Amino acid sequence: MKAPLVRFGVAMEEPLLSALDQLVKTRKATRSKVLSDLARAEVMQSQLGPDVDVVVTLTLVYDHHVPDLSEKLTSMQHELGERVRATLHIHLSHDQCLEVIVMRGRCGDLERAAKTLLATRGVKHGGIEMIADGGSDRPHRKHRQHH
């Protein structure tokens, strides 16, 4: 059964409202839908703690000409053992590679590992997406740590 909708008033600065309305237009949605999506994502993020089981995607863009970087990243993944479930490696250009690492385990452990990988010399950009593991009744997202 779907939860009942509740109406409430929201006050915000006009420039922020204009930006929100542009987002609504881009998404071909309504203010209510966009605000609900934003609120849901924030509530879910706030409820993920270090002991929650999660599935993580970590995206790295790095310069593969940095000495020993590929070997270092591979070694770090091996140290995580079975928590690393899959990797995808793509050559973006002569100099840059993109790697997506899928991990499964405790939120705190994987967040620390992801931050270590992101901070590795030669990694240019990256992001983390965390989703509560399927069997959990806890909310679902912790998002974004850009490097």
- State pLDDT tens for residues 8-30: 999 999 999 999 999 999 999 99
Residues 6+ apart with CB under 8 A from 108: 49, 50, 51
Q: Is-contact 124 24, C-beta < 8 A?
A: no
Give residue 21's domain range: 14-46
Residues 60 and 113 placed together within one structural domain of the fold? yes
Helices (DSSP H) in 1-147: which residue ranges? 14-27, 31-46, 69-79, 107-118
Is 5 a member of any domain?
A: no
Residues 107 and 58 placed together within one structural domain of the fold? yes
Percent of the chain exceeding pLDDT 70 equals 90
Q: How many domains does the chain have?
A: 2
Q: Rounded to a whole number, what is the largest CA-CA distance in the chain?
A: 58
Whether the predicted pLDDT of 109 surpasses 90: yes
Is 7 a member of any domain?
A: no
Average confidence (pLDDT) over 126-141: 69
Q: Is-contact 79 110, C-beta < 8 A?
A: no
pTM above 0.85? no
